[in-house]
């Protein structure tokens, strides 16, 4: 019996439709992380009106990936960077711009689990 409180995701990040576009790049990035690279993770949860958005960054010494989940878009957007400093700069600018556009940052820290 399925738990009545278990929510089904609206989209599956492992879905072939989304995963094929970035599969090679993300698998290379995951391999770097598995090799014990210095990894930095950060998640920002934003709220505006009745919408919730996520902005996440995951970086290692060899590069970084930023994922944006916007409720107005059909699928998440992923941007890969060779330079982790450039990725962090973009992440910071994006948060600043979001605040200027009326989004409230309700959480900014380590990824949430559970």
Q: Tell me the per-residue pLDDT of 10-42, one tens digit each, with 9 for 90 and over.
A: 555 555 555 566 666 667 666 655 555 578 889
pLDDT above 50: residue 108: yes
Residue predicted with more confidence, 33 or 57: 57
Length of the chain: 114
- Residue 6, pLDDT score: 55
- pLDDT value of position 1: 47
pLDDT value at 94 more than 90:
yes
Q: Which residues, including other chains, have CB under 8 Å from residue 114's CB and lie 6 or more apart?
A: none
Q: Who's near 46: CB < 8 A, 6+ residues apart?
A: 52, 53, 54, 55, 98, 103, 104, 105, 106
Residue 45 placed within a domain: yes
pLDDT reported for residue 103: 96
Predicted confidence (pLDDT) at residue 53 exceeds the cutoff of 70: yes
Cα separation, 57 vs 91, whole angstroms: 7
Going by the DSSP 8-state scheme, the letter that residue 77 receives in this structure is E
Residue 96 lies in a domain: yes
| Cα–Cα dist 88/81, whole Å | 10
Residue 2 lies in a domain: no
Q: For the chain, what is the domain count?
A: 1
Q: Is residue 33 part of a domain?
A: yes
1 domain residue, yes or no:
no
Instruction: Average the pLDDT over 68-92 and give the result.
Output: 93
43 contacts 107 by C-beta, under 8 angstroms = yes
| 60 assigned to some structural domain | yes
User: Is residue 11, in this structure, part of any structural domain at all?
Assistant: no
The residue range of the domain holding 46 is 16-109
Q: Would you call 80 helix, strand, or coil by DSSP?
A: strand
Residue 39 placed within a domain: yes
All residues at 6 or more sequence positions from 47 whose CB lies less than 8 Å from its CB, including other chains: 53, 103, 104, 106
Q: What percent of the chain has pLDDT over 70?
A: 65
């Amino acid at each position: 019996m399925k738990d009545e409180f278990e929510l089904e995701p609206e989209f599956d990040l492992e879905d072939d439709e989304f995963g094929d576009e970035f599969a090679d790049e993300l698998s290379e990035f995951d391999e770097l992380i598995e090799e014990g690279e210095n990894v930095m993770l950060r998640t920002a949860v934003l709220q505006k009106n009745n919408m919730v958005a996520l902005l996440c960054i995951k970086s290692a010494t060899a590069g970084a990936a930023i994922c944006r989940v916007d409720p107005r878009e059909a699928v998440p957007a992923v941007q890969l960077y060779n330079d982790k400093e450039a990725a962090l700069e973009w992440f910071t600018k994006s948060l600043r711009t979001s605040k200027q556009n009326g989004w409230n940052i309700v959480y900014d820290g380590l990824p949430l689990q559970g």
